[in-house]
Structure 1
Amino acid sequence: GPFGMPFKVPADKSASLLLIGLGTGIAPFRALVKHLYTEVGDWEGKVRLLYGARSGLELLYMNDKRDDFARYYDEKTFAAFKALSPRPNWADPIAWDFAIEDRAEEIWNMLDDDHTFVYVAGLAPVRDALDDLFASIGGEAWPKRKAELIASDRWVELLY
């Protein structure tokens, strides 16, 4: 974008990245993933993209995975997971829990790893939804873990 990278690429290429985008919050991650795999190169850490919206129409900046992210990612390290509201015409929240239910253990292990960076972008209400989601998989350990991530500058939010 015109303002550069909103998220810093870790110097350690073995660091894992958990990227979480809500609605148009997917936009900075398209640029970040492209940068990782085309300009940085040889990225060894896991890159997991969780993206969601109330409906498919809200995924304005998300092209078909085959046409967009596939040009840049290394399938050995990159995976993306989509979450939509179960009733997009209602005010129902995004069903994050359904999107990650098969990956909950992997995501918690990433959150619990001192070499993982978590980048969150999108609408401000995603903060509470993520706290609820991560508390559901990490239990009482989540608030302490989030505080550690924030204190070590490994939890970065771009919320509006």
Structure 2
Amino acid sequence: MLAPSVRHLVFARDDGQPLDFNPGQFIQVHFNYPDGTATKRSYSLATVHDHALGPGEAVEIAVSYVPGGAATALFTALDEGQQIQASGPYGRFCLMPNDANKRYLLIGTGTGVTPYRAMLPQLEALMRDRGVEVVLLFGARTPEELIYGEDFRTFADRHANFRFVPCFSRELPENAHPDVRRGYVQDALAEFAPQAEGDIAYLCGNPNMVDAAFEALKGHGLPIPHIRREKYVSSK
């Protein structure tokens, strides 16, 4: 359990082959409701892997548990070694190879930070090769809901060009890091002075946050093609 209602799960393909995907993509898990009706849920891949070395074997996802949810029942009942049916990868919420920006603003809430975890090896290469700067603004209500927080803080401590800024709307951690902020991520944006020239922003998570941050970034002059969005909605 990454948080009281978020679980990290690791799978491997049953044919023994690696899963070739671009960080930021997602898979769809297929299952049936109790009445037999087919349904599916989408989960961003959380796997941290250097794709310059080829595809990796692990298939990692973060699952939000929703009370009474059919997908929650599916994952809660899983034991080690059991199987699920999935398809993919899908999606285009990825770092673009032709980007010539100076900085990435990565903004997320809840499990919306999952794709950013998968992007860490790519970001490391971009910081090394192009001198790119990265700011990750992560919104959570309380410290215990900051999923993958230790991964991001460790990465920030190792890379001067990567800044990890957790924003807590309800409760601050004890002995908070200097980059911790109180409030919502969209309200913290102004501190980092988004620039029309040089910045590309990624928004992922709560739809209200995505909409508010999108409007804030447009207000700072960012062109719409430089604001890339993916909304996460908890489904039962």
Instruction: Determine which of 196, 210, 227 is the counterpart of 1:155.
Output: 227
Structure 2 distance, partners of 1:127, 1:157, is 7
- Flag the structure with higher strand content: 2
The one-character-per-residue Cα deviations of 1:16-62 (angstroms, maximum 9, x if unpaired) are: 10000111111111121222214884241221111111122322233
The aligned amino acid for 1:121 is C
Structure 2 distance, partners of 1:130, 1:18, is 11
Instruction: Determine which of 185, 192, 199 is the counterpart of 1:116.
Output: 199
The aligned amino acid for 1:123 is N
Instruction: Determine which of 149, 170, 182 is the counterpart of 1:86.
Output: 170
1:56: which partner in 2?
143
Structure 1 distance, partners of 2:108, 2:199, is 17
1:23: which partner in 2?
110
TM-score, length-normalised on structure 1?
0.65
User: Would you say 1:34 and 2:101 are equivalent positions?
Assistant: no
Give secondary structure in 2 for the equivalent of 1:7.
Answer: coil
Give secondary structure in 2 for the equivalent of 1:112.
Answer: coil
> Quick one: higher RCO (CA 8 Å, sep 6+), 1 or 2?
1
Instruction: Determine which of 216, 219, 226 is the counterpart of 1:142.
Output: 219
The aligned amino acid for 1:155 is I
The aligned amino acid for 2:228 is V
Residue 7 of structure 1 deviates from its aligned partner by: 1.8
Structure 1 distance, partners of 2:126, 2:132, is 15
Structure 1 distance, partners of 2:102, 2:126, is 16
User: Would you say 1:74 and 2:159 are equivalent positions?
Assistant: yes
Instruction: Determine which of 76, 95, 105 is the counterpart of 2:183.
Output: 95
Distance 1:53 1:86, change over 3 A: same
Structure 1 distance, partners of 2:227, 2:186, is 23
| Unaligned runs of at least 5 residues, structure 2 | 1-44, 46-58, 60-88, 173-181
Q: Which runs of 4+ in 1 moved over 4 A?
A: none
Give secondary structure in 1 for the equivalent of 2:196.
Answer: coil
Structure 1 distance, partners of 2:126, 2:212, is 33
The aligned amino acid for 2:104 is L
Structure 1 distance, partners of 2:101, 2:200, is 11
Distance 1:85 1:66, change over 3 A: closer
Pairwise CA RMSD of aligned residues?
A: 3.4
Percent sequence identity over matched residues?
26
Residue 159 of structure 1 deviates from its aligned partner by: 0.9
Cα pair 1:22 1:51 within 8 Å, conserved: yes
TM-score, length-normalised on structure 2?
0.47
The aligned amino acid for 2:109 is L
Residue 116 of structure 1 deviates from its aligned partner by: 1.1
